[in-house]
Structure 1
Amino acid sequence: MAGTRSTGRRERLRAETTAEIKSTALELMGAGGPDAITLRAIAREMGMTANAIYGYFATRDDLVTALVAEVYTALADAVDASWARTEHDAPQQRIRAWAHAFRAWALANPEGFRLVYGDPVPGYRAPEGGAAPDAARRVCVGIAALADAAWSGAEAAHGGGGFGWDDFDPGLLDKVRPAFPALPPDGVALALRIWGHLHGLVALEVYGHLRTQTPSPDKLFRAELAELVRSLGLGAA
């Protein structure tokens, strides 16, 4: 019994230290950019020896991979949950819910956003298949779901854009087509256009570029989202 308690305590302490290493890495990145993520810098910040931290992550790339997987999965969980809470036959509400969940996650986790969508960590090599393949697939499918929900209205409003399957990366199609086999190439293009609308303003806000331009970034985002919904032929808010 005592041995079980001791093992449980060691596992708990290891999990707590691992979590602190990850949070420290993100803090260093927030202060000094991607270059600041080094095991030695993290060890110094935490008051650990360099040798001790290697017992948790053998290389800097192992740590970055763990970080990307964790933050990307958290994003996928957030947008998936927002989607699940909306009605299937209410595309306008579904798009709005997904968009607001994406922005809320990004603003609450700016370092995580920058790690996934910002400047790459210098010299980092992701494992084959990517650092977070399941989370990347879920977010990609979520964006395609926005287009699928809006497709009939968008097609009626604007028609097609003349896209073919060869206009897209096979890796993207491998994620999207099994989930939405009826979505045509123009629908996949619509997904990327929706993503551009949502990602653009959020990125400007996360990186602080809107800070001196407007005291109301939320109002700006809502206005952009309303215009996007109208442009998709889904009516006014």
Structure 2
Amino acid sequence: MASTGGRRERLRAETTAEIKQVALTLMATGGPDAITLRAIAREMGMTANALYGYFATRDDLINVLINEVYTALADAVDTAWASAPAEDPAGRIRTWARAFRGWALANPEGFRLIYGDPVPGYQAPERGPAPDAAHRVCTGIAALADAAWPSARHLYAQSDFQWSDFDDGLLAKVRPAFPDLPPAGVALALRIWGHLHGLTALEIYGHLRTQTTDPGKLFQEETAQLVRSLGIEPDE
């Protein structure tokens, strides 16, 4: 027979999970402004005071949401990266790209939380709400550029990128992980990110609905064209 304490913990875990899901749903339907403890309590048939027993402030809730969402994304793309052979940079880029889009389509509310409009009035912790996950995703994007750089360096032969052209926080993540990647390699990472994130964001926010009947095909072909432009043989 289950103990009273065990039932209490289970109910608390279930209620906490429901609070987080309702918050994401409110954001998806009403935008970032819709995430308030009062609105969540109303949706759940609770009092706002009751919610304070789970999250002391709205920002505490958002911190937890961002950390969980970002960690899930980092896990998805890290697993994809590791599944492709190191000697196949094109395969790694394509696999990472598919995983990123696939996660976003399965978690549109989470995508909007970490990559959409900021939540009004939200004050993030000093290191950010998900520093480890953000670091993993950032270095994962840099890894795509590092894998492509031997073949793609010709694209930047006439460029004049300097370290001072990039944010110190970005460089603090990228340079220790990839010490041989030059400033132009960081620019390449941002180019790759722009392609993959751009089309995914357009799809998540519904901006491709009137432009294409098959956004998946568009994303796949754009990724293939990106790989070819880098001078990497596409995987078969």
Question: Counterpart in 2 of 1:148?
Answer: 146
Checking the alignment, whether the CA contact within 8 Å between 1:157 and 1:233 is kept in structure 2 is: no
In 2, Cα distance between equivalents of 1:196 and 1:146: 13
User: How far has the Cα of 1:158 moved from its partner?
Assistant: 4.8
Question: Counterpart in 2 of 1:47?
Answer: 45
Corresponding residue to 1:163 among 161, 165, 171: 161
In 1, Cα distance between equivalents of 2:53 and 2:96: 39
Question: Counterpart in 2 of 1:24?
Answer: 22
User: Quick one: structure 1 residues 195 and 160, their matched pair in 2 at CA, closer, same or farther if it must change by over 3 Å?
Assistant: farther
Q: How many residues align?
A: 235
Corresponding residue to 2:111 among 106, 110, 113: 113
User: Which ranges of structure 1 fall in alignment gaps of 5 or more residues?
Assistant: none
Question: Counterpart in 2 of 1:192?
Answer: 190
Structural RMSD (CA)? 1.3
Q: Deviations over 1:17-39 (max 9, x none)?
A: 11100000001111111111000
TM-score w.r.t. the length of structure 2 is 0.96
In 2, Cα distance between equivalents of 1:81 and 1:20: 27
Q: Deviations over 1:100-139 (max 9, x none)?
A: 0000011111111111000000111101110100000000
Question: Counterpart in 2 of 1:228?
Answer: 226
Runs of 4+ in 1 over 3 A off after TM superposition: none
Checking the alignment, whether the CA contact within 8 Å between 1:78 and 1:105 is kept in structure 2 is: yes
Corresponding residue to 1:204 among 192, 202, 205: 202
In 2, Cα distance between equivalents of 1:100 and 1:79: 9
Identity level (%): 73
User: How far has the Cα of 1:16 moved from its partner?
Assistant: 1.1
Checking the alignment, whether the CA contact within 8 Å between 1:40 and 1:50 is kept in structure 2 is: yes
TM-score w.r.t. the length of structure 1 is 0.96
User: Which ranges of structure 2 fall in alignment gaps of 5 or more residues?
Assistant: none
Question: Counterpart in 2 of 1:218?
Answer: 216
In 2, Cα distance between equivalents of 1:231 and 1:38: 45
The secondary structure found in structure 2 opposite 1:210 is coil
User: How far has the Cα of 1:7 moved from its partner?
Assistant: 2.1
The residue type equivalent to 1:223 in the other structure is: E
User: How far has the Cα of 1:148 moved from its partner?
Assistant: 0.4
Corresponding residue to 1:64 among 56, 62, 85: 62
User: How far has the Cα of 1:160 moved from its partner?
Assistant: 5.6
The residue type equivalent to 2:71 in the other structure is: T
